[in-house]
Amino acid sequence: MIFSIVTIFPLLIEACLQDGIVARARKQGKVEIETVNLRDFTSDRHRTTDDRPFGGGAGMVMTPEPLSLAVQKSCRQQVRDRRVILLSPQGRRFDQETATTLAREQQLILVCGRYEGVDERFRSRYVDEEISVGDFILSGGELPALMVVDGVTRLLPGVLGCSDSAANDTFSSSLLKHPQYTRPRVFEDMEVPEILFSGDHRRIEEYRFIESVRRTKERRPDLLEKAAASFTEQEKRLLEAHGLKAQTG
Ligand code: 9D3
C-alpha cells in the first residue's frame, strides 16, 4: 500500500508517524507513506493555497490548481487500483467496513481539506470519495487522514503480530469489549472478579459475553441491535437468565 497525503502541514503528518504500529510497518517496508506539501504546487510569491469564495460569505476556499497538480504528481504510474480521497465534513462516515475496502487498493491519495472547503471543480474531477470521521468540527483533514492511515495499515498483511491481532474473541467484532483486569489482584481495595481465577474457560467466556452485552446495551444500543441478529439461541437464553433481553428476534 502506498499512502500519499496532500497537506499544507506535512510536518504535522510526519510527527504523528514517528511511533507506533504504523511507524514500524513503514520501517519494515510494509507500507509506504509520503507527505506531499501542497505549497510546492503553488506558483505565486506567497505560495497561496486558498482564496475568497465567489458569491461572498465568510471563510476561505482552497484553490483548485495546486490541489490538482499535487494529486497528479502523486499518482504512481505502475499502480492500477488507486483512489483519491478527500477528508471533509461532507463525506461518508469512516467505519471498519470502509477501512477493509480501502485496504484492497494499491494507492490511496488522501487530500486534507483546510479552511471552509475545496473548490467544487477539484472535487468533481479528481476526488473519488469523500470521508468524514464523525459529527464534530475539526480544523482540517490532517487528523482524519491519519486515522484512515492507521485504520487501514493495521489491516495490511503482516502488520499486526498475532498477540495484537484483529479478532481474539468470538464476539469481538460487533460488541464492546468486556471489562479487563491484570495484576495486581487487589488495587486500591478493588478486587478482580473471582470467576477469572476459576480456570473454567467456558464460564469465563459466558461471563465476558454477558458483560460485553451489558456495556453495549448501556453505551451503544445501536451496535447491540445489529449484533443481536446473530446471537444463538443459547446466547439468548444466557442473556435472559441475567436480565438482559436480546433486542431483536
Ligand atoms: C460551515 C461551518 N464550518 C465550520 C466552521 C464548516 C467546516 C469547514 C471545515 C467544518 C470543519 C472543517 C474542517 N474539517 C475537516 O476538514 C474535516 C472533518 C471534520 O471537521 N470533522 C470530521 N471529519 C472531518 S474530515 C475533514
Residue with cell 486534507: 112
Domain end: 153, 171, 202, which one?
Answer: 153
Question: Which ranges in the chain belong to alpha helices (H)?
Answer: 10-16, 20-27, 64-74, 96-102, 120-126, 142-153, 201-219, 221-228, 233-241
- What pLDDT does residue 168 have? 53
Confidence (pLDDT) at 229: 94
Specify whether 26 is located in the same domain as 77: yes
Mark whether 144 and 208 lie in a shared domain.
no
Domain shared by 73 and 146, yes or no: yes
Phi, psi of 186 (to 5 degrees): -120, 125
Q: Tell me which residue of 156, 98, 152, 97 sits closest to 128, measured CA to CA.
A: 98
Residue 89 lies in a domain: yes
Neighbour-count burial of 33, counting CB atoms closer than 10 A to its CB (0-12 exposed, 13-18 middle, 19+ buried): buried
Ligand 1 pocket test: pick from 67, 93, 116, 148 the residue with the most ligand atoms within 8 Å of its Cβ. 116
In this structure, are 7 and 128 located in the same domain? yes
Same domain, 14 and 119: yes
Q: Are residues 125 and 232 in the same domain?
A: no
- Does one domain contain both 98 and 221? no
For the chain, 249 residues long, give each residue's pLDDT as a single digit of tens. 999 999 999 999 999 999 999 999 999 999 999 999 999 999 999 999 999 999 999 999 999 999 999 999 999 999 999 999 999 999 999 999 999 999 999 999 999 998 899 999 999 999 999 999 999 999 999 999 999 999 999 999 999 988 776 555 566 678 999 999 999 999 999 999 999 999 999 999 999 999 999 999 999 999 999 999 999 999 999 999 999 986 654
Q: Is the CB of 116 under 6 A from ligand 1?
A: yes
Other CB atoms within a 10 A radius of the CB of residue 238 amount to 17
CA distance 243 to 70: 57
This prediction has a pTM of: 0.95
Q: What is the CATH number of the domain that holds 69?
A: 3.40.1280.10
Instruction: Measure the CA–CA gap between 117 and 158, rounded to whole angstroms.
Output: 36
Task: For residue 217, give every residue at least 6 positions away whose Cβ sits within 8 Å of its Cβ, in sequence order, or none.
Answer: 224, 244, 247
Q: Taking Cα atoms as reference points, which of 149, 32, 161, 16 lies closest to residue 85?
A: 149
Bridge-partner residues for 31, per DSSP? none
End of a domain among 153, 170, 204?
A: 153
State which ligand 1 atom lies nearest to the alpha carbon of 140. Answer: 16
The preferred substitution site among 88, 111, 130, 136 for testing ligand 1, maximizing ligand atoms within 8 Å of CB, is 88
Domain co-membership, 135 together with 234: no
pLDDT of residue 129: 98
Centre of ligand 1 to C-alpha 140, Å, is 6
Identify which of 6, 172, 193 has the alpha carbon closest to the alpha carbon of residue 88.
Answer: 6
Q: Do residue 191 and residue 146 come from a single domain?
A: no
For the beta carbon of residue 219, count every other beta carbon within 10 angstroms: 11
* 149 shares its domain with 192: no
135 within some domain: yes
Q: To 10 degrees, the CA torsion angle through 111, 112, 113, 114?
A: -150
Ligand 1: nearest atom to the Cα of 144: 25
Range(s) of the domain holding residue 198? 186-241
pLDDT at 167: 57
Determine which residue's CA is closest to atom 10 belonging to ligand 1: 137
Those residues whose C-beta lies under 8 Å from the C-beta of residue 112, and which sit 6 or more positions away, are 5, 6, 7, 8, 9, 87, 140, 141, 142, 144, 145
Q: Who contacts 218 (Cβ-Cβ below 8 Å, separation ≥6)?
A: none
Residues 117 and 211 both lie in one domain: no
Residue 122 and residue 9 share a domain: yes
Last-in-domain residue among 109, 130, 153: 153
Q: How many structural domains does the chain have?
A: 2
Query: Which amino acid is residue 68, in one-letter code?
Result: S
